[in-house]
Structure 1
């Protein structure tokens, strides 16, 4: 028997006591965008998921191929009637057994989906204000670059942003450099240089980050760099924007007393949508 919210019930009625993702954060996940029954950037998502599972020593089943993952995601999207435009999340967690030390490394997974209003990427033309979140820091290590089910810094940072009327916050690493936003990677335009922190700084190895880097390298008069960004650099920047797979590109218009343009971000957004149309 267990106590669940003040009521004594059978432990068989509550699966959470057997879920290691819930008990220890022993899980990894991917969030994907589906347009017209097609998963965008499927290969990048698949290989990042496989890499994440290897990093945390999960056993990858023999049938866990890219085709299998695609089939499983699209089946639940179709069952929900969201095939035109949707987001789906697959969470992979280690099976029950043991405490900190697992009794085995086999896995289970859970996929759920939600509808999205827009197929292609769009940006709402409104003020988007950010500030630094300095209560906790991201560590410069491999675990910071993968998507685990331990996202407490993103949760507390989101609460801080909401309490202070901000749209987002920028996270710092243990060297006090800017590494990413709460919901995605950060890019900074400084003159003709487009800069994003390297993964070695502790930022997420984002799927959309990779797409934007590739698109930006094809633009004339734009030098693309993976380099350290300090908080002082933000005040000198011409543009700042956040990237993730669901939103695409979100321009930042305000950081403290500094306002930013959005021209390069909008150009990249057009190129991103053009790439999707042609695939």
Structure 2
């Protein structure tokens, strides 16, 4: 028996009592965008998920092929009438048993889908203001680069942003450098130089980050580099924008007293939507 919100109930009636994702954050996940019954950037998502499972020493089932996971995600989207445009999340968690040391390394998974109104990526011209989140720091380690269900730093930063009237916050690593936003990678344009922090700084190895790097390298007279970004660099930037696979590109228009242009972000958005339109 267990006590659930003041009521004594059978432990069997609450599946979370042994779930390792719930108890210890022992899970990894991928969030994908579905357009016209296809998963955008499927291969990148699949290999990142497999790499994440290897990093945390989960046993990868023999049937976990890219084709199998694609079919599982798309069949659910079809069942929910969301094949046209939606987001799906697959969470892979280690099976029940043990405390910090698991008894087994086999896994189970959960997929759910949510509809998205627009197929193409877009952003509004409204003000989008950010500031630094300094209460806690991202560590420069491999675990920071994968998507685990331990996102308490991001949650706390989101609450901080909401309480202070910001649209987002930029996260710092333990060297006090800027590594990413709450829910996406950060890019900074200074002159003709586009910079994003290297994964070694502790940022997420984002799928959309990879796409934007590839698109940007095809823009004429633009130098694209992965370099450390300090908080002082932000004040000298011409543009700042955030990327993730659901939103695409989100320009930052204001950081403290500095306002930013939205020029390169529009160019990259067009290139991104060319890929989506071809899906």
CA distances 1:95-131 after superposition (whole Å, capped 9, x unpaired): 0010000001000000000000110101011000000
Distance 1:25 1:225 in 2: 33
SS in 2 for 1:75: helix
Q: Tell me by how many angstroms 1:278 deviates.
A: 2.6
SS in 2 for 1:156: helix
Alignment of 1:90-105 (within 5 A): 90-105=90-105
Distance 1:270 1:8 in 2: 57
Q: Do structure 1's residue 177 and structure 2's residue 181 form an aligned pair?
A: no
Distance 2:275 2:68 in 1: 25
CA distances 1:1-49 after superposition (whole Å, capped 9, x unpaired): 0000111000000000121000000000000000011000000000000
Instruction: Could you tell me which runs of 5 or more consecutive residues in structure 2 were left unpaired when the two chains were aligned.
Output: none
SS in 2 for 1:225: strand
Residue equivalent to 2:166 = 166
Residue equivalent to 1:11 = 11
Tell me how many residue pairs correspond in the alignment. 279
Alignment of 1:1-279 (within 5 A): 1-279=1-279
Distance 1:231 1:125 in 2: 25
SS in 2 for 1:219: coil
Task: Give the alignment's TM-score, normalised by structure 2.
Answer: 0.99
Distance 1:229 1:207 in 2: 20
Q: Which runs of 4+ in 1 moved over 2 A?
A: none
SS in 2 for 1:86: strand
Question: Aligned Cα RMSD in Å?
Answer: 0.5
